[in-house]
Structure 1
Amino acid sequence: MATPERPCDVPAQVDRLLTEAGGIEQGHVQSAQARIQAALAENRERATQLRERLAQSAAPLAAQEPAAHALLEALDTLETHASRAEASVGEITADIRWLDMAKRHVAQSIVTLRRLQMLVRSTFQLEQLCDSHQFREAASALQAVQALLDYFVPFDRVPYVLEQRAKMERMHERLRTMVLAEYEQAFQAPRARWDARESALPDAALVVEALGADVRDALLDTYCTRQLREYRRVFRAVDEAGQLDNVARRYAWIRRLLRTYSEEHAPAFLPAWHVDRRLLALFAELTFEDLRSTLVREQPRLHVDMLLHALHATQEFEAQVARQYNEPWTRVVGARRLSDAFAPYLGVFVEAQDKHLADMLAQHTPAPGGSSAAATAVAASREPTEPNLCDEPVRVLASSTDLVTFYRQTLERCAQLGPHAPVRELAHVYAKWLKRYAMDVLLPVAQQSRDTLELCTVLNTADYGSTTCTQLAQRVTEKLRALEGAGDAPPCVLDAERDAFLSVAAAALQALVRGLSTSLDGAFQALLRPEVPWTQREHVDDKSPWVDLLASGLESVAVVVRHHVENKRYVRSWCDKAVTLVTTRLLQTIVRLRPVRARAAAQWLADVQHVRTMLHELPHFSAPGRTWDAGGASQAMQASYARLVDRSIAKIEPILRVLAGPEEPTAMVAAYREHVQDQALPNFQKLLDLRGLRRPDQTPWVEAFLAAIDRAPDALPTTSTLSSLQLDPNADVYALPELGERRDESHDTSSPNRPSTPSSATAALSLPDWKKFGSMFGVALGQRRP
């Protein structure tokens, strides 16, 4: 090896330059400059005095012109000398500035030469440290040499500087080779137990840091690749260990590697290098590609349990890393999440839930043409024992609680699948099977069942389902906004599904009304065919036997509805429909029983009062233990229901009061105007038809009615409750469309014969028309009298 130039051979040139710079007589220059300046100032002062004297004695000088010319010439001479002196001073000042510049350059040259001497000495020292493998001292010397070389960047054209830079580059490469060889030798062969603190690697790490980022990155890449070489060999995607069901083994392997690094290898590297994070980053990159290729290969036969097991293991590992470093995964590893590899395949989870729901509902869907009782007989009054989306347990079908519990569990599982969880797709599956459950499971039972308790259970289930739709939509929306991180994310809407359950509830309610109608058949048959015909009654009793049968039929259904229907709004709705049913069928039966005699009408009038009381008490608003709303029994609800009962009875009561009165025309017309309170002749004729009077025999009553109208033409309206009365018992008004069917009893031959009635097409004439008809009818009668 060539011996470098000794540092003592250089300073001779520096001493010579200092000697030359010291020979300049700086004091003489300053003295000459001071004398010139003083002479120049003296000449200027003398010229000024002469000018003043000339100005003071201008007149005498005019007389002595030659002397003045001489004086001016003297002044010009002085001015010329002053200009020359000033030029000389400028030249001397420029020389002085050049001397100052030369002095500064000499000082800078001295500093540069001294730093060059330091560079040579440091390079020599670094070479000796490399020979002795003193890496810690070599790292400090290397940093000093690099700092000195940075100073000599402007002198790259100087041959001696170029020589030193080339020598330093050779030293840099030599150090790089040495430290990498140290690391290569240390990590080349596996060891049972090894502590890096006992090696030269901690000092070599300082040299690597001094060599720069390129050497450091090359070293760390080599180390990480070597450490993960075994991982790539063991967990190949085509081998058993690399399959999806062995994902947890991958994370166990990297945990062991990180533990080995922390306990044995960490002292060989500087903490600022974050080698453990580099290991994690490389592991994440390799694992992500392996998972993606495995999922692509296994997609045709991908099983949801295997997928979720692998995903949960991945998420647990990511969470553990985040907890260990107290930072998010992306900041620790600096790469995408491993769980992102599963995102394109999470639809398997949704498909599995769809299939599970199909199997679940297939067990409860009634077979075509089969009995619906089998679908609900398992738990017609079961109360949910597991938490569900509703706040309070209700008597519902067990299938509905199983469905809601499954929804709750799968929604939570889906939300735990990570930021790519297919919550919205799962919500679409929920909507699909909620509607199928309402239409395929509940609706057939509501349409086919005749069991009151079963129908109450279906009604509760439908109400429970509608509430569940609202709450489920809210929870899905919360999950979506939590996953998407946006408070204004589009909400989940299940309005169509909620409407499906409400339609089922309406169907169940109609079926309950149908059941009530069936239970009342005996009472109305007793009214239609009493043991003693109504035409043979001789007195009026407190109530007829049919009233007790009516009360028994009402209560047989009402007690079940009141006790088993949880939502009291439906109880009230059923009671409203029951009132309409009872009053409509009662009026229909009265029409069938014509001709109506006064004593029968009086008996029915007494019976109607009992029916009114019975209907008023039907909902049991004040029954102990029953809650109608959040604040107890609602006074407004009671009042509105009472008005409904009174309006319904008011359609029957005036008719009976008129029919129970005297048959004499004037008295009957007076009773009609008092109780019915209208002046429509067709309505009055309906009561005459109910009396059994034939149209040709109604002339006295019509005449009395028209006479009463003439006496008070505008006292009463032209319409009343009788306007909707139809004398055909099979008319549409008695069909009760909310029952879904129409009772046709036209085949009944036991009804008394009754005269034909005008069809509903003959509408009531207006009051002016009837006045004209009455006047002409009266004139005709007068002409016929003798």
Structure 2
Amino acid sequence: MPLQAVMEVVKHFENYNSIPQVRHLSEQVHQIHLELAHQITGDFQEAFTGPNAKQFSPNRQLAEACLVVSILDPKVKRDLLKWFVGLQLAEYHHLFQESQDAAWLDKVDRRYAWLKRHLLEFEDKFGPMFPPDWDMSQRITIEFCNLTRQELAKLMAKRKSEIDVKLLLFAIQRTCTFENLLARRFTGATLDDVDPNPGRNAQASASVNPFDAPDADGDSTNPFREELEEERGDAGPAADGPLISPFNGIISKCFEPHLYIYIDSLDRNLSDLIERFVVDARQRPEGGGAVLASCADLFVFYKKCMVQCIQLSTGQPMLGLTATFQKYLREYAVRLLQGGLPKIAGSSGSLGASVSNITRDLSTSGIMQNFQSFLKEGEVTRYTGEEQSRVCSILTTAEYCLETTQQLEEKLKEKVDANLRDKISLSQEQDMFHNVISNCIQLLVQDLEAACEPALLAMNKISWQNIDTVGDQSGYVTAVTSHLKQTVPSIRDNLASSRKYFTQFCVKFANSFIPKFINHIYKCKPISTVGAEQLLLDTHMLKTVLLDLPTIGSQVARKAPSSFTKIVVKGMTKAEMILKVVMAPTEPARAFVDQYAKLLPESDAQEFQKVLDMKGLRRSEQAHLLDLLRSERPGMGAGHDTAVRSPEHESSHIKKLEKLIKKRL
């Protein structure tokens, strides 16, 4: 084109504008440009708004004029396009102005239908007249989107009291579907030419699949590890990958300030869901160690809510959604899990009465008969098999909630706008599920301890000083073993999917039961040497049973965890050492004290006195040994002087102090 060639020559001589002839020619060319721009603009206005506009049909003259405009100052093209696009949307302005019934949200799809029809008519009639690189249909569409977003925002601000969640979601769904249609139709190349800040949500334009990175284990039972394409339907991206589109949010951004209506609706729905869960749990309590069905239902609902909210906005509404999730995670933890735990109805009163009724002077020959009757009378209220199973189910459910809540937090942080990421945390809710797990384990431990308690009390009622021969293990050991064999395999089976928490149960039971057993050993007083030998045999047998606790009653041979084995070995070895000290002669005294310090190096003077009580020594006899321990083993006696002094020793000390005061007076 000659004009193009002329412009290139003028540009080439820009550095020579100081020469009058060159400057004059340049000014002439500039003037020609202005005249061409004025003439072409006038021709367009005459053709499209003049008296004969209705009869106008595209012609070659205007088509060539467009080519000229492409060469002129870019401002000429921008002004012409702005005017022409506005002209194309004049009818839209009129049909959907604020006062028109069609302008409201319930008819929002009519807006999009209008644009589709108009673009078809425009492209059919005027499309060939404009250069392809002008992207006229796309420019009209983008201006339509910006105008629609602004008009809907103003309209909703004035009539927000009329918006309910159903209407809001209808409008958003139709709008998002339209935006996805535009994404498939246009590239968005002219978007910034029309509006450098159209209000689209850049974060939302990325992948909206919150589960596009499933864990390596591929656990399909966790709803936050599943694919979402089935959730998205026609509004979603093509199957070959997530759709990245600049049109995402170009209109629907206007709905974001009103998404609190959607969040409030979710709150009400979740409240109803939790209430239904509570009623179902009361009517049909679940057990068997399996995860409660209500838990899966809750997180599936969470998943759907999150996917939907991500499609609506990844900004501030996501924080509102997170707060709602937090609220009902806490509700579930408190009402369904903690509130669903069966209570242990202890019978300490009847147990104490049974103990008091046992004769204090059991003969050796009558130990087993009296022991059996005591166990029967001293039975405590325990969990039924169904209740025990329910505790295990609540534990596994809390574990599932804990893991899934961690996944939920990761996905929320991944999908929310980067500047809001630090405001999302579900750590407190995770702590609540941790606490439920700990409570479940503690209840199982307490229940098993309650079963063993009558046997330990019976052990204290045996006349250990009257035993003159060492036989097989005592009846209380058999009773404890029986309870362990009845209870632990059932818990192990119910926690088959939570091996680490079964191990924790074994560890906590050992940590609780062994110190209690040692305290009951101290109560076996006085005790003869033969009685101590029998008790030592019982302790060793019980130690063997406890070491086998994780696999007791199992057909599968599996080595107990080392952490558990260390606890049992350390605790029960201490019990054995206590009995060996009891069996040792107190003369010579120094050798006895050395033996105590050697066998129980971590012990103290207070426990030493308990050993002396078991041997049946009087307080006056104990005083010398205690002083010897404190003098030769200051580390063992330090910090326990007040606790270990006998009443006789304290009385003597007070009398000496009284005599000293009298002398001074």
TM-score by length of 1: 0.57
Question: Following TM superposition, by how much is the alpha carbon of 1:611 offset from its aligned partner in structure 2, in angstroms?
Answer: 0.6
Matching of residues 151-170 of structure 1 within 5 Å: none
CA gap of 1:588–1:177, structure 2 versus 1, over 3 A, is: closer
Q: Could you say which structure has the greater relative contact order, defined with CA pairs below 8 angstroms and 6 or more residues apart?
A: 2
Within the candidate set 300, 312, 330, 1:417 is matched to 312
For the residues of structure 1 that align with 2:64 and 2:425, how far apart are their CA atoms? 66
Within the candidate set 316, 331, 346, 2:177 is matched to 316
Higher Cα Rg, which structure: 1
1:666 partnered with 2:587: yes
Question: Following TM superposition, by how much is the alpha carbon of 1:361 offset from its aligned partner in structure 2, in angstroms?
Answer: 2.6
Within the candidate set 573, 586, 590, 2:504 is matched to 573
CA gap of 1:186–1:276, structure 2 versus 1, over 3 A, is: farther
Aligned to 2:263: 350
For the residues of structure 1 that align with 2:425 and 2:573, how far apart are their CA atoms? 45
For the residues of structure 2 that align with 1:588 and 1:207, how far apart are their CA atoms? 103
Aligned to 2:431: 499
Matching of residues 84-95 of structure 1 within 5 Å: none
- Give yes or no for contact 2:533–2:583 (8 Å, CA) kept in 1: yes
Question: Following TM superposition, by how much is the alpha carbon of 1:183 offset from its aligned partner in structure 2, in angstroms?
Answer: 3.7
Matching of residues 292-691 of structure 1 within 5 Å: 292-327=153-188, 330-331=191-192, 333-334=194-195, 336=198, 337-364=250-277, 374=281, 377-381=284-288, 395-418=290-313, 420=315, 422-446=317-341, 448=343, 450=383, 451-480=387-416, 483-484=417-418, 490=422, 492-528=424-460, 534=464, 537-565=467-495, 566-620=497-551, 637-638=561-562, 640-660=563-583, 666=587, 673-674=594-595, 677=598, 685-691=609-615
For the residues of structure 2 that align with 1:217 and 1:187, how far apart are their CA atoms? 25
Question: Following TM superposition, by how much is the alpha carbon of 1:454 offset from its aligned partner in structure 2, in angstroms?
Answer: 1.9
Per-residue deviation, residues 497-542 of structure 1 (Å, max 9, x unmatched): 2222222222222212211122213423443456xx6565453222
For the residues of structure 1 that align with 2:71 and 2:577, how far apart are their CA atoms? 113
For the residues of structure 1 that align with 2:524 and 2:37, how far apart are their CA atoms? 123
Aligned to 1:244: 105
| 2:152 alignment partner AA | L
Matching of residues 134-149 of structure 1 within 5 Å: none
For the residues of structure 1 that align with 2:606 and 2:149, how far apart are their CA atoms? 89
Question: Following TM superposition, by how much is the alpha carbon of 1:606 offset from its aligned partner in structure 2, in angstroms?
Answer: 1.0
1:228 partnered with 2:228: no
Question: Following TM superposition, by how much is the alpha carbon of 1:419 offset from its aligned partner in structure 2, in angstroms?
Answer: 5.2
- Give yes or no for contact 1:376–1:397 (8 Å, CA) kept in 2: no
Question: Following TM superposition, by how much is the alpha carbon of 1:254 offset from its aligned partner in structure 2, in angstroms?
Answer: 0.6
Question: Following TM superposition, by how much is the alpha carbon of 1:357 offset from its aligned partner in structure 2, in angstroms?
Answer: 2.7
- Give yes or no for contact 2:451–2:483 (8 Å, CA) kept in 1: yes
- Give yes or no for contact 2:278–2:336 (8 Å, CA) kept in 1: yes
| 2:425 alignment partner AA | V
What is the SS of the residue equivalent to 2:422?
coil
- Give yes or no for contact 2:448–2:483 (8 Å, CA) kept in 1: yes
For the residues of structure 1 that align with 2:413 and 2:95, how far apart are their CA atoms? 44
For the residues of structure 1 that align with 2:484 and 2:256, how far apart are their CA atoms? 60
Aligned to 2:636: 719
For the residues of structure 1 that align with 2:604 and 2:87, how far apart are their CA atoms? 108
- Give yes or no for contact 2:464–2:526 (8 Å, CA) kept in 1: no
For the residues of structure 2 that align with 1:580 and 1:675, how far apart are their CA atoms? 23
C-alpha root-mean-square deviation of aligned residues, in Å? Answer: 5.0
For the residues of structure 1 that align with 2:642 and 2:547, how far apart are their CA atoms? 36
Q: Could you list the runs of 5+ residues in structure 2 that have no partner in the other structure?
A: 8-20, 199-249, 345-382, 657-665
Question: Following TM superposition, by how much is the alpha carbon of 1:238 offset from its aligned partner in structure 2, in angstroms?
Answer: 4.2
| 1:603 alignment partner AA | Q
For the residues of structure 2 that align with 1:584 and 1:461, how far apart are their CA atoms? 31
For the residues of structure 2 that align with 1:573 and 1:215, how far apart are their CA atoms? 78
Per-residue deviation, residues 315-353 of structure 1 (Å, max 9, x unmatched): 333343344332367337536122221222223333333
Matching of residues 8-157 of structure 1 within 5 Å: none
- Give yes or no for contact 1:176–1:211 (8 Å, CA) kept in 2: no
Q: Could you list the runs of 5+ residues in structure 1 that have no partner in the other structure?
A: 1-135, 144-150, 156-160, 367-372, 383-394, 628-632, 725-759, 777-786
Per-residue deviation, residues 705-736 of structure 1 (Å, max 9, x unmatched): 589x59x974x67639xx99xxxxxxxxxxxx
Count of aligned pairs = 538
What is the SS of the residue equivalent to 2:636?
coil
For the residues of structure 2 that align with 1:621 and 1:328, how far apart are their CA atoms? 71
For the residues of structure 1 that align with 2:409 and 2:547, how far apart are their CA atoms? 40
User: Identity of paired residues, percent?
Assistant: 25
Per-residue deviation, residues 94-128 of structure 1 (Å, max 9, x unmatched): xxxxxxxxxxxxxxxxxxxxxxxxxxxxxxxxxxx
- Give yes or no for contact 2:342–2:391 (8 Å, CA) kept in 1: no
For the residues of structure 2 that align with 1:649 and 1:295, how far apart are their CA atoms? 74
For the residues of structure 2 that align with 1:686 and 1:210, how far apart are their CA atoms? 106
